[in-house]
Amino acid sequence: MDAANGCGSCDLPFTKPQVVVSRGNPQACLMMIGEAPGAREDELGKPFVGRSGKLMDRLMESVGLDPDVDAYICNVVKCRPPKNRRPTLVEIASCRPWLQQQIELVDPYVIALAGSTAVEAILGIKGGITKLRGQWQHWHGRLLMPLLHPAYLLRNPSPADGAPIALTRSDLNEVRHRLKQVDRCAVVPMLDSSRRRLP
């Protein structure tokens, strides 16, 4: 993926300091795909390291998934759009070969799609993330789980049952249980998270 640093297939590389490729384990059975880098991600060169990413990390940990060991984390678009706007269709299409290469190289058993942009980029389904979340999808022989984007969770921080955070934790728990069913996808033992509070 070092070649992505020289990519010129859209205008984004001329507006940012670096390409943000991935973090986590490239041998993981779980790939999480988000939208695009934000300011913090652009600064550090890693995806999902701002407030949204830290919340997603805590949610993953609360169900026994280690973001650094059990997941490979990336975005649909590898460069930060100006003012953190949503990527355009042209930008998504321009970055698609890089994303496809990541999927092929990592070869995940499960792909978690964080937010509507990731769902649209992979499944071609526009909108409706609140209806799609928590429902397994099939794509090119892989299992996909649409998730609410953690930025949405930050705007809706209620810890109540049935609230977005609780729903996302439940969806991630489904992902973990599915990974446990595959020999090559062993995850760390489930920890007692009854005392943990999120976010």
* Successive 10-residue mean pLDDT values, the chain, 199 residues: 54 66 96 95 94 96 96 95 89 95 97 97 90 96 97 95 97 96 72 40
Which candidate, 177, 167, 182, 179, places its Cα nearest to that of 134?
A: 167
- pLDDT tens sequence across 126-162: 878 999 999 999 999 999 999 999 999 999 999 899 9
Contact (CB, 8 A) for 119 and 149 = no
18 CB-contact burial (10 Å; exposed 0-12 / middle 13-18 / buried 19+): middle
Which residues lie below 8 Å from residue 60, measured CB to CB, with a gap of 6+? Answer: 66, 67, 70, 71, 172
d(CA 55, CA 33): 15
d(CA 138, CA 123): 9
DSSP string, 9-50: SSSGGGSSS-----EE-TT-SEEEEES---HHHHHHT-SS-S
Which range of residues forms the domain containing residue 161? 10-179
Q: What backbone phi and psi angles, to 5 degrees, belong to 127?
A: 65, -175
CATH code for position 83: 3.40.470.10
Q: For residue 90, is it within any domain?
A: yes
Q: For residue 186, is it within any domain?
A: no
Q: For residue 185, is it within any domain?
A: no
Which candidate, 114, 93, 111, places its Cα nearest to that of 102?
A: 111
Q: How much is the pLDDT for 9?
A: 59
Q: For residue 192, is it within any domain?
A: no
Q: How much is the pLDDT for 84?
A: 82
d(CA 20, CA 192): 34
Domain count along the chain: 1
Q: How much is the pLDDT for 184?
A: 80
